[in-house]
Amino acid sequence: MLNSTYPGLRVLDLATNIAGPFASMILGDMGADVVKVERPPIGDDTRALPPRWGDEATVFIAVNRNKRSVLLDIKSAEGREALLKLVETADVVVESFPPGLAEKLQLTFEHFRTRNPRIILCTISAFGDGPLGSKMPGYDALVQAVSGLMSFTGHPDTPPVRLAPSVLDLTTGMWGAIGIMAALARRTVSGEGEHVRPSLLDSAFTLMNHQVLGFLATGSPPEKLGSGAPSAAPYRVFEASDGAFMLATASDPQFVRLCKTLDLDGLESDPRFSAMPARLEHREELDTMLADLFAQERVDVWLDRLGNAGISVGRVNDVRASLDMAVTQERNLLIDSNTLSWAEGMPQLRLPVDPTGSGIRRPPPKLGEHSAEILRAAGYDAAAIERLGKT
């Protein structure tokens, strides 16, 4: 079972928004005891964001299950000391402080490991913690822009477009979790803690790896191709008479099969289209020819005809339709709340490495829900617990 991977591991989640909380949630799904340290009176920034499910923000719900919440004003001397006391019995700390705040609060890796030499700190930032990056705060969309990711996203002759999912936040959270797991493995040998430092900028360049190498090889920046691909054609969304579908042909044999299926006799031997480099050079001519053909029939006609020929093709779905797909049900991606040990009414998306959703053990915490139990276990009395949870 996934939730037995890290039993007994204690993680302190000081992060807000998406990247850091997602990293700690991954560890929580794997069995770690994750304590979410939140500032009074509002807690994690995402708690206030729409849309909402009852009293809870769906963004917060998405990345904060399997955690306990404790309220601590870590900017106060008493709150800082309480945090460091929790660090003494923790294995991992995840933080995403704005540039300079860790140093100002004296909550850096050096400060943490004076209290716990085995602590693993994961610092998540937008641009890193070097001389330049440490002065540059940022969010997912900003890093998409400055990294170049937006420059080739969208259609030609349109303004730059942001990738709608928070791809840099989520992938940086994944890199954070991977880095923590590697540090935990190394600690079993060295006995020492480690500082893991993923950034959104690093994630952006990793996601663009073949575009970056393509630019270095040719000197030509990647172009906006809409739904198209830089190295294959025909490979894009086409409009049928009643909707849109994606066609992906990534090799010469696939293109020959496409021509045969569509009764386009001789097209595969046309010098403009007979090989992939030629098809890329004449992409617009080929796409226009196919667009005219595909507009004559319904999407399901093309899905049947092309799919039965072994050609990669699929309807462009909205989220409602994608959740209703048979393969989504087969994959058990959405875990119904009635099957969980808690019944909040909000289904949960399982992690890709948790096929049964067994790692989903508890709901996202209410703000400060577990302050008393966590601080009492650390040796604080009721009066101190009340003080620590105030601004």
Tokens, residue 340: 């969980």
Distance (Å) of CA 269 to CA 247, 263, 272, 278: 20, 13, 8, 11
Query: Do 93 and 79 contact (CB within 8 A), yes or no?
Result: no
Query: Do 289 and 259 contact (CB within 8 A), yes or no?
Result: no
CA separation for the pair 41, 305 (Å, rounded) = 59
Q: Is 157 left (phi over 0), alpha (psi -120 to 50) or beta?
A: left
Residues classed as catalytic: 169
**Those residues with Cβ within 8 angstroms of residue 301's Cβ, 6 or more apart along the chain or in another chain:** 240
Q: Strand, coil or helix: what is 200?
A: helix
Q: Is 191 left (phi over 0), alpha (psi -120 to 50) or beta?
A: left
Task: Say which amino acid occupies 122.
Answer: C
Q: Strand, coil or helix: what is 275?
A: coil
